[in-house]
Amino acid sequence: MASENVIVVGDGDFEAKVEKNELPCLVDFWAPWCGPCKAIGPVIDELAEEYAGKVQIVKMNVDDSPATPGKFGIKAIPTLILFKNGEAVDRITGAVGKAQLKELLSKA
């Protein structure tokens, strides 16, 4: 079950919910058929709980919304991009552990 602290965005509302968000945003670009994406899903949900109010966790299905991933040059999923003040400041590609994701979030 997805965390209530995770928001789902599409191409239409990405700018409003991520680039104009006052909080730093960690965007998980994923797809339902992607095994590694499913593997890190529970970790993303845990981080959403731990960082509630500090970092907004966002998920974007690349199949449903192909324009935004193209804009950011995403060639493989899962890719997680950290946005701060509307700018992409760091990214991780592939299924990584919680420790690596926390290290990324520490930059927020």
For residue 65, tell me if it sits in a domain. Answer: yes
Summarize pLDDT for 49-90 with one digit per residue, the tens.
Answer: 999 999 999 999 999 999 999 999 999 999 999 999 999 999
Q: pLDDT band for position 107 (50/70/90)?
A: confident
Q: How does residue 35 score in pLDDT terms, banded at 50, 70 and 90?
A: very high
Give the Cα-Cα-Cα angle 89, 16, 4 (nearest 5 degrees): 85
CATH code of the domain covering residue 24: 3.40.30.10
| 25 in catalytic set | no
The one catalytic residue among 18, 34, 58, 77: 34
pLDDT value of residue 1: 45
Residue of 25, 37, 57, 104 with catalytic role: 37
Question: Could you tell me the residue range of the domain that residue 82 belongs to?
Answer: 6-105
**For residue 52, what are its two tokens?**
């509630």
Domain count, the chain: 1
The verdict on whether 34 is a catalytic residue reads yes
